[in-house]
């Protein structure tokens, strides 16, 4: 990729810094999740955010009219975290081990205070003698709120054709 002709060094540096900031944000989020710091993870979101995982056969489906796997507003996402922190989310008690590999982070578009970014993921879930890889791509809308990046939208699109042999999406993906 070449920078557009006419862009000043300052503009190119600003863009580079933003790309680094976004990549750093997404990678730090992955660490927070691998360490199961779920309350801290919730603070990364705006109040109007959504967390979404479409079904494997309709990865581009609109969740308003397509059955997906997860479609959380913040109330449900807080409920999800509450559940995972209890001792009664049996699929995740004890918590599984996860390791997230995030790559190919790129800033797609900047629209005012919002940044559209994509990334590839390979997330391993390890539990009960099984190692299950989850493969796919993230779509983020990040919004700058009082100088800090927050997640306004976070969609994990699976490349898997089915959750087989995984069975569930009981971790935060």
Partner 1 sequence: MNLPELIHEDRSGGVFRVRRSVFSSTEIAALEQKYIFQRCWLYIGHDSEIPSAGDFRRRTVAGQPLFWVRGGDGKVRVFYNSCTHWGANICRLDEGNAELFQCFYHAWTFNNHGDLVSVPDEPGYGSGFRKEAMGLVSPPRVDNYRGLYFVSFSPSVEDLVSYLGDAKDYIDLILDQSEEGWRVIPGTQKYSVRANWKMFSLNSLDNYHVRPLHSTFFKYTESLGAGDPPVSPPTEFPGPQGRALSLRNGHGVDVFPSVNRARPIAHWHPILGEDSKEEIRNRRAGLVEKFGEERAYLMCNTNRLMLIYPNFALHDIAGVSLRYFEPVAPDYMEVTVQTLAPRGESAELLNRRLENFLSFLGPGGFAHPDDIEAMESAQLGFRANGPEWIDASRGMQRDGTALDEIHVRAFWRQWHAHIMGDAKAERDHD
Q: Give the residues lining the site for partner 1 (CB under 8 A).
A: 53-58, 61, 63-71, 75-76, 79-80, 82-83, 86, 88-92, 128, 130, 161-170
Structure tokens at 1: 């990729």
Cβ 81 to partner 1, closest distance in Å? 11
State the nearest-atom distance from the C-beta of 168 to partner 1, in Å: 4
Looking only at the bridges linking them, the beta strands covering 97-111 and 114-127 are antiparallel
Nearer to partner 1, 70 or 115 (CB): 70
Nearer to partner 1 by Cβ, of 80 and 150: the residue is 80
Nearer Cβ to partner 1 (84/142): 84
Running DSSP on this structure, what letter comes out for residue 161?
A: S
Measured CA to CA, the distance from residue 3 to residue 1 in angstroms comes to 7
Strands 70-72 and 97-111: unpaired
């Amino acid at each position: 990729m070449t920078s557009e002709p006419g862009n000043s060094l300052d503009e190119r540096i600003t863009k580079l810094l933003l790309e680094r900031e976004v990549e750093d944000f997404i990678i730090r989020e992955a660490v927070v999740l691998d360490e199961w710091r779920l309350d801290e993870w919730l603070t990364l979101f705006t109040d109007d955010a959504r967390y979404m995982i479409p079904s494997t056969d309709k990865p581009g489906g609109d969740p308003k009219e397509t059955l997906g796997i997860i479609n959380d507003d913040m109330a449900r996402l807080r409920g999800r975290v509450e559940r995972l922190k209890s001792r009664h989310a049996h699929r995740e008690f004890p918590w599984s081990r996860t390791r997230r590999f995030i790559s190919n982070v790129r800033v797609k578009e900047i629209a005012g205070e919002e940044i559209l970014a994509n990334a590839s993921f390979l997330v391993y879930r390890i539990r009960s003698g099984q190692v299950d890889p989850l493969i796919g791509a993230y779509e983020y809308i990040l919004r700058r709120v009082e100088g800090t990046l927050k997640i306004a939208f976070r969609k994990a699109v699976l490349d898997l054709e089915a959750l087989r042999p995984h069975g569930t999406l009981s971790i935060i993906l």
